[in-house]
Amino acid sequence: MTEQMKAIALLSGGLDSRLAVKLVQQQGIEVTALNFVTPFCNCTAKSSCKMEARKASEEFGIALRVVPLFEEFMEVVKRPKHGYGSGMNPCLDCRILMFKMAGEYMRANGASFIVTGEVLGERPMSQRLDAIRIIERASGMAGLIVRPLSARLFEPSIPEQKGWVDRTAFLSISGRSRKPQIKLAEELDIGDYPCPAGGCLLTDKVFAARLRGLLKDHPDPTKNDILLCKVGRHFAGSSGSRIVVGRNEAENLRVEQLCGPGDWLLTAVDWVGPTVLVRGERVNDADLETAAQLTAGYSKGREEPRLDVSCKLVGADTETIKNVSPHESLALKEAISG
Ligand code: SF4
């Protein structure tokens, strides 16, 4: 009896990786999926990469392992050997890390190769031919990555050379148009796939500037610090503290969820308005005054001459009421936005 051939697929849950899994599965290969989750995934509670990957793995009847990345990923974000893309996205180093980890998982689980939904030329930084070669070499996975969507544009991989998979059943898609993938999804009866617009916040210039600011003051941020970067409007306090202003009810709740001992939480007294968090090692009275003005300025009481703002130190029984002018915040919004 011939041994069952096994492969590990990098499954983001997006259309490309779904198609790639299906094309390999159709050849009788047993596929196990890996889904890497970074704190920079642009996910919401209603739609996340993890959920999409789970849905896809259930649809295909394959095992899924979700791999959260933090410490090792932050090293890559802070010091990428191959530089950044348009924001703070270290795509080459990120892919090298993921392929290395996928390779370790492959060897530990008796699989023979890796499958990805990469399409040549689809992403400007990591899916150029030269970048793909660098990633393969640096991850130690040269020849062991099968890309069913673009396979015929590459030299045959080892699995293709050895006949473990049939290269003639693979495709030669390239570029940024998604039309070929959408057509293929219809042919393969893959209907319910998420919009490809999600993605990684590191490519967003505004988020990248915010992250740079955080890393300048806190070179070793916690995961909570990073998650806080994804919420609200951000301002810089004079002591190096960060002031985070929730923009709606959902963000106010998130700000509250992320606060911890030592943080200050501010809300307007008697007015609907934002939940505001102040975080820093040396939060001083000037920071709280600024944060209180912002709290008042973004509240429904912003037309009042003055209003009260409650400032609570999380984890301690301390509450201060500051009486501030909401109008002071107008100049602040511009000056200390960060
Ligand atoms: S966009 Fe983000 S997740 Fe994707 S390769 Fe680049 S750094 Fe990694």
Which residues have C-beta atoms less than 6 Å from ligand 1?
38, 89-91, 94-95, 126, 200, 202-203
Full residue range of the structural domain in which residue 129 is found: 6-187
- Based on the structure, what is the number of domains in the chain? 2
- Please state, in angstroms and rounded to a whole number, the distance separating the CA atoms of residues 325 and 338: 22
For the CA of 38, the nearest atom of ligand 1: 3
Which residue from 119, 202, 226 has its CB within 8 A of the most atoms of ligand 1, so it is best to mutate? 202
Q: How far is CA 278 from the centre of its chain?
A: 24
Neighbours of 260 (CB within 10 A): 12
Helices assigned H by DSSP within the chain = 15-25, 49-60, 71-78, 91-108, 129-139, 158-161, 179-187, 205-217, 223-229, 249-258, 285-297, 328-335
Q: Are 164 and 151 in contact (CB under 8 A)?
A: no
- Statement to judge: residues 164 and 259 lie in one domain: no
* CA 201–ligand 1 middle distance (angstroms): 9
Please identify, among 159, 187, 215, the residue that sits at the C-terminal boundary of a domain: 187
pLDDT at 317: 86
- Statement to judge: residues 238 and 311 lie in one domain: yes
Give the CATH number for residue 39. Answer: 3.40.50.620
pLDDT at 46: 64
pLDDT at 332: 66
CA-based Rg of the chain, rounded to a whole angstrom?
A: 24
* CA 93–ligand 1 middle distance (angstroms): 9
pLDDT at 57: 95
Nearest to 80 by CA among 102, 103, 97, 104: 97
∠ CA 184-156-16, nearest 5°, is 25
Please identify, among 187, 203, 219, the residue that sits at the C-terminal boundary of a domain: 187
pLDDT at 21: 97
Q: Is residue 21 part of a domain?
A: yes
- Statement to judge: residues 170 and 259 lie in one domain: no
- Please state, in angstroms and rounded to a whole number, the distance separating the CA atoms of residues 57 and 302: 50
Q: Is residue 195 part of a domain?
A: no
Q: Is residue 226 part of a domain?
A: no
> For 69-104, how does the pLDDT look when each residue is reduced to its tens digit (9 = 90+)?
999 999 999 999 999 999 999 999 999 999 999 999
- Please state, in angstroms and rounded to a whole number, the distance separating the CA atoms of residues 128 and 132: 6
Q: Is residue 273 part of a domain?
A: yes
Nearest to 73 by CA among 44, 35, 39: 39
Classified as helix, coil or strand, 168 is helix
Beta bridge partners of 68: 37
Residues of the chain with pLDDT under 50: 197
Classified as helix, coil or strand, 68 is strand
Please identify, among 122, 154, 187, the residue that sits at the C-terminal boundary of a domain: 187
- Ligand 1, atom 2: nearest CA belongs to which residue? 200
For the CA of 125, the nearest atom of ligand 1: 6
For the CA of 202, the nearest atom of ligand 1: 2
CA distances from 312 to 7, 54, 258, 280, 305 (A): 53, 40, 15, 14, 23
- Please state, in angstroms and rounded to a whole number, the distance separating the CA atoms of residues 108 and 25: 21
- Statement to judge: residues 159 and 241 lie in one domain: no
- Ligand 1, atom 5: nearest CA belongs to which residue? 91
- Ligand 1, atom 3: nearest CA belongs to which residue? 200
* CA 46–ligand 1 middle distance (angstroms): 21
pLDDT at 197: 46
Structure-block tokens of residue 78: 């802070």
* CA 150–ligand 1 middle distance (angstroms): 19
- Statement to judge: residues 90 and 158 lie in one domain: yes
Classified as helix, coil or strand, 244 is strand
Q: Are 190 and 22 in contact (CB under 8 A)?
A: yes
* CA 64–ligand 1 middle distance (angstroms): 20
Q: Is residue 193 part of a domain?
A: no
pLDDT at 338: 56
- Please state, in angstroms and rounded to a whole number, the distance separating the CA atoms of residues 41 and 33: 18
Number of H helices, E strands in the chain: 12, 11
- Statement to judge: residues 165 and 300 lie in one domain: no
- Statement to judge: residues 171 and 250 lie in one domain: no
- Statement to judge: residues 237 and 183 lie in one domain: no
Q: Are 12 and 117 in contact (CB under 8 A)?
A: yes
Helices 49-60/15-25 angle, 10° precision = 20
Q: How far is CA 5 from the centre of its chain?
A: 32
Q: Is residue 156 part of a domain?
A: yes
- Statement to judge: residues 253 and 175 lie in one domain: no
For the CA of 95, the nearest atom of ligand 1: 5
For the CA of 77, the nearest atom of ligand 1: 7
- Statement to judge: residues 142 and 68 lie in one domain: yes
Neighbours of 124 (CB within 10 A): 13
pLDDT at 45: 61
* CA 202–ligand 1 middle distance (angstroms): 7
- Statement to judge: residues 72 and 182 lie in one domain: yes
Q: Is residue 199 part of a domain?
A: no
Q: Is residue 283 part of a domain?
A: yes
pLDDT at 183: 96
> For 208-250, how does the pLDDT look when each residue is reduced to its tens digit (9 = 90+)?
999 998 998 889 999 999 999 999 999 989 888 999 999 999 9
- Statement to judge: residues 64 and 143 lie in one domain: yes
